[in-house]
Amino acid sequence: MPILCRPAVVVPEHTISMGQTLDLARRLHAGHPQLALVLRLIENTGVTKRHLVRPLTETLRHPGFEARNAVYEQEARRRIPEVVRAALRSAEVGSEDIDAIVFVSCTGFLMPSMTAWMINNLGFRWDTRQIPIAQLGCAAGGAAINRASDFCMAYPEANVLIVACEFCSLCYQPTDDGVGSLLSNGLFGDAVAAAVVRGHGGAGIQLERNSSYLVPDTERWISYAVKATGFHFQLDKRVPTTMAMLAPALHTLANSHGWDASALDFYIIHAGGPRILDDLCRILEVEPHAFRHSRATLTEYGNIASAVVLDSLRRLFEEDTLPRGAQGMIAGFGPGITAETCVGTWAPVSNGKSLAHARTMGSAAGVHRPTSTGGPAT
């Protein structure tokens, strides 16, 4: 069975606090008729701090779509190598051992994909398969894990690298003043994350079954309007209610594996906002503590889109308290409305080495400042 190894996560050095976010909303939208509602919604997110790829003053300026996309490419090239190296070390593999790269992002667009740049510059083999995923939004973190697992099931000797690169701050639109847009301005943050799925060997989560589910007739609930000024995020007010529609799919997946979705040992859930986690706690009838890693990601980094599940997983690995064979679920939610979900068991030992050893190998998790700009990832 494929093993999902310990993720690595890098967040940028620039930050914005909850207090700064609220002050900006008051200053920039002083005459907004629903400002009080917006402020209350932002406060209710519980996001204390977010990280930005550019200083706040630059983030608030819009130099045009072309310039922003150039920043996306520049920052991706600058920040991806460090997190890739850390993920490879944690999985105890080299770049030459990787057979496929799944790259997920919804906050910039490049063609060829960043996978081509990584193969050319980070020491991967020329025959490495490229699997870029650009339009699943926040659900792409779960989708990346599932597609990597599928690849390793098809090719049991293979290893797959997952990279999630999300610079949500580059999608800030100064002229968008809908309640959903203003809430998003106080919710989303930036991060780069990576993890390796090994077809054999490795320590981490043994991936056993996965599924996808799309809620009918909700494709407009989370979307981009693509305009001359770039990506304009559109969020329907009904999105926070979607757990009632998605929870049955979580039960179906667990039941198909002979498990009870309400009685698992760990849960890694995409933290799109506190309402999502609160509702899922209630519907699944689990204690709030079960979602502690997802809440920690939301509180400390905000909604970092496809990187959320990888950062929440990093926190699970760092806690390292689960017994061998502990049963759990990973779920990412995003546009569609789509759920990408998998179940698996905790497999903490690889070739006689514990996760404590793997943890020392992955020293870049949670790093705030990149230290390298390129070179082979060996």
Give the whole-angstrom CA distance, residue 62 versus residue 157.
47
pLDDT score, position 352 = 40
Give the whole-angstrom CA distance, residue 378 versus residue 366.
20
Residues 6+ apart with CB under 8 A from 16: 49, 50, 52, 56
Residues 6+ apart with CB under 8 A from 133: 102, 103, 104, 140, 143, 144, 147
- For 351-375, what is the mean pLDDT? 41
Residue 256 scores a pLDDT above 80: yes
Would you identify the CATH topology of the domain 3-202+357-361?
Answer: Peroxisomal Thiolase; Chain A, domain 1 (3.40.47)
Of 77-86, 119-128, 204-213, 217-226, which gets the smallest average pLDDT? Answer: 217-226
CATH class assigned to 204-351: alpha beta
Catalytic residue among 138, 168, 281, 342: 138
Confidence of residue 271 (pLDDT cuts 50, 70, 90): confident
Q: How big is the chain, counted in residues?
A: 378
pLDDT score, position 236 = 86
The end-to-end CA distance of the chain, in Å, is 25
Give the whole-angstrom CA distance, residue 282 versus residue 291.
12
Residue pair 124/84 in contact by the 8 Å Cβ criterion: no
- For 318-329, what is the mean pLDDT? 96
pLDDT score, position 374 = 38
Confidence of residue 350 (pLDDT cuts 50, 70, 90): low
pLDDT score, position 52 = 98
Q: Where are the domains of the chain?
A: 3-202+357-361, 204-351
Residue 189 scores a pLDDT above 50: yes
Residue pair 148/340 in contact by the 8 Å Cβ criterion: no
Give the whole-angstrom CA distance, residue 249 versus residue 156.
28
Helices (H) and strands (E) in the chain, counts: 12, 14
Give the whole-angstrom CA distance, residue 147 versus residue 342.
11
Residue pair 358/6 in contact by the 8 Å Cβ criterion: yes
Give the whole-angstrom CA distance, residue 152 versus residue 196.
11
Q: In a 10 Å sphere around its CB, with 0-12 CB exposed, 13-18 middle and 19+ buried, how is residue 294 labelled? A: buried
Give the whole-angstrom CA distance, residue 332 versus residue 136.
10
CA-CA-CA-CA torsion sign (271, 275, 280, 282): positive
Confidence of residue 241 (pLDDT cuts 50, 70, 90): confident
Residue pair 134/105 in contact by the 8 Å Cβ criterion: yes
Inter-axis angle of helices 308-319 and 140-154, nearest 10: 70
- For 42-67, what is the mean pLDDT? 95
- For 22-45, what is the mean pLDDT? 95
CA-CA-CA-CA torsion sign (298, 299, 301, 302): positive
What share of the chain has pLDDT > 70, as a percent? Answer: 92
pTM (predicted TM-score):
0.91
Residue pair 137/306 in contact by the 8 Å Cβ criterion: yes
* Range list of β-strands (E), the chain: 3-4, 8-10, 14-17, 49-52, 100-104, 129-133, 159-167, 190-198, 204-214, 222-227, 230-235, 266-269, 327-334, 338-347
Residue 138 is a catalytic residue? yes
